[in-house]
Amino acid sequence: MSESAEQRLQGRRILVAVSGGIAAYKTPDLVRRLRDEGAAVRVVMTQGAQAFITPLTLQAVSGHPVHHDLLDPAAEAAMGHIELAKWADLIVVAPASASTIARLAHGMADDLLTTLCLATAAPIYVAPAMNQQMWANPIVQENCARLTHYGFHVIPPASGSQACGDIGAGRMPEPLELREVVVAHFLNNTDQPLAQQHIVITAGPTREAIDPVRYLSNHSSGKMGFALAAAAQQLGAQVTLVAGPCQLATPAGVTRINVNSADDMLRAVMQHVPNASIFIGCAAVADYRPVQVASNKIKKDSDAMHIQLVKNPDILATVAALDKPPFTIGFAAETNDVLKYAQSKLERKGLNMIAANDVSDSSIGFNSDENAMVLIWRDSHAKMQQKQLPLASKTTIAEQILRHAAALIHS
């Protein structure tokens, strides 16, 4: 559904708890995204969180005063912390610092955040955010395991560059991703049109080696493919994600296979697609690769370098041409004549459906968190059909694509 469609969190009461960490700058956007879906949001902050972002900012985006004092006389007169604990349908601790995780794991109640978490019957989601070395520390990992044991939901952190300059796991997931975790929690389990389906999805770029240090690739971030994987899992499917090189966290419940080249991706796909009912080729697979890969780094000895290229295997067409192919969905990322090229690709490769978008638009192209698509398919009378998916988050677009595919399969 689009952002203007029915609000998926209408009537839900979400308590966002903020601990100290640089990732707190993302929390106002999380609050806004939750409210966009109809949720009522209240915010609790630790003293450390206030060093990174002001209560006034979160008050402005939530529309309510921010709570931060356990022993606030005005609040305590009405047992304010108990009332907040009872009010919440769900608590999200984002970001969750190593210190807060440790205190929650050991049942401490020395500030408002930890007291609320002990006093509530609501489910609690924890989004760790810290330096990659801290996240890898076995004590932190043990504390997270302890939280899981006691019924907390620990959201794996994302990987990438960090404020301290390090690169690795420990980044708080983006607000849109966290919102989708909350939405998924409240999804009606009967609303799973992809239950009993095995879906294989490709995502990200491929890298075609030139020599040991250079390669041909493209700007694909993998965000659309990963959004599809997350949405498919939430809609009941068993998901195998074949991912080219990209620094994105694996969606919960999804089996991920990492590959580099187009040949690697083809082998992984062909290993798993025979048992799949749906195949989605969302990866930006390099069209060509060098005929020869130099065994040593090529030296800059001249002003020009000539590389002979050969066409890569067509993964989509290969899957669609199987004796018993799955329902096959392709993507057409074009810069001009989008519908013309997408329809041609649908026909040429024998696809069941194609999703086309204009990557020349920087707001919906590579690396963007939003997208807009046109779905194209042939109906039961072989007549070409189209459906516009207006601008929305990639998570929303992913759900729309999958629901439409499910409807076509079951029609």
On whether residue 192 sits in a domain, the answer given is no
**Pair (132, 253) in one structural domain:** no
Give the three-class secondary structure for 407: helix
* Beta pairing partners, 169: 159
The more confident residue out of 337 and 109 is 109
* Contact call for residues 193 and 200 (beta carbons, < 8 A): no
- CATH number of the domain bearing residue 111: 3.40.50.1950
- Say yes or no: 89 and 170 in one domain: yes
> Among 135-149, 151-165, 234-248, whose mean pLDDT is lowest?
151-165
* CA–CA dist 28, 57 (Å, integer): 7
Domain count, the chain: 2
pLDDT band at residue 158 using 50, 70 and 90 as cut-offs: confident
Given a cut of 90, whether residue 331 has pLDDT beyond it is yes
Question: When comparing pLDDT for 85 and 114, which is higher?
Answer: 114
Using the predicted structure, report yes or no on whether residue 169 has a pLDDT greater than 70.
Answer: yes
Confidence band (pLDDT; 50, 70, 90) for 371? confident
User: Does 84 map to a domain?
Assistant: yes
Asked whether the predicted pLDDT for residue 36 surpasses 70, the reply is: yes
Tokens of 383: 């007549």
Is 255 in contact with 232 (CB distance < 8 Å)? no
204 and 180 both lie in a single domain? no
| Residues forming the active site | 164
Which 3 state secondary structure label does DSSP give 278?
A: strand
What is the predicted pLDDT for the residue at 317? 95
pLDDT of residue 132: 86
Q: Are residues 380 and 265 in the same domain?
A: yes
pLDDT for 202: 98
User: Residue 54: pLDDT band by 50, 70, 90 thresholds?
Assistant: very high
228 and 347 fall within a common domain: yes
Q: Is residue 1 part of a domain?
A: no
Question: Are 364 and 342 in the same domain?
Answer: yes
The CA distance from 101 to 69, in Å, is 19
Same domain, 154 and 209: no
Average pLDDT on 386-403 reads 89
The residue that leads in pLDDT, 78 or 272, is: 272
Domain that holds residue 131: 13-186
Shared domain check, 258 and 163: no
How far apart are the C-alpha atoms of 403 and 148, rounded to whole Å? 31
Please report which confidence band the pLDDT of residue 224 belongs to, taking 50, 70 and 90 as the band edges.
very high
Phi, psi at residue 216, to the nearest 5°? Answer: -95, 135
Tell me the pLDDT band of 365, cut-offs 50, 70 and 90: low
Domain check: are 23 and 105 in the same one?
A: yes
Q: Which of 186, 211, 239 is the last residue of a domain?
A: 186
Does one domain contain both 231 and 182? no
Read off the CATH number of the domain in which 389 is found: 3.40.50.10300
- Residue 5 pLDDT > 60, yes or no? no
- Angstrom distances, CA of residue 12 to CA of 41, 119, 127, 238, 250: 8, 19, 20, 28, 27
Asked if residue 107 is part of any domain, the answer here is yes
Residue 78 pLDDT: 46
The domain boundary, picked from 128, 163, 186, lies at: 186
Given 166, 186, 206, which residue is the final one in a domain? Answer: 186
Residue 3 inside a domain? The answer is: no
Whether residue 5 lies inside any domain: the answer is no
Mean pLDDT for all residues in the chain: 88
Which pLDDT score, from 0 to 100, does residue 334 have? 79
Which residue's entry shows tokens 């992913």?
398
Please indicate, yes or no, whether residues 206 and 124 belong to a single structural domain of this protein: no
Strand partners, 388: 374
Tell me: do 142 and 117 sit in the same domain.
Answer: yes
Question: 247 in a domain, yes or no?
Answer: yes
Q: What's the confidence (pLDDT) of residue 393?
A: 80
Asked if residue 164 belongs to a domain, the reply is yes
Say if residue 117's pLDDT is above 60: yes
pLDDT digits (tens, 9 = 90+) for 78-93: 445 678 888 898 999 9
Query: For residue 168, what is the enclosing H or E element?
Result: strand 167-171
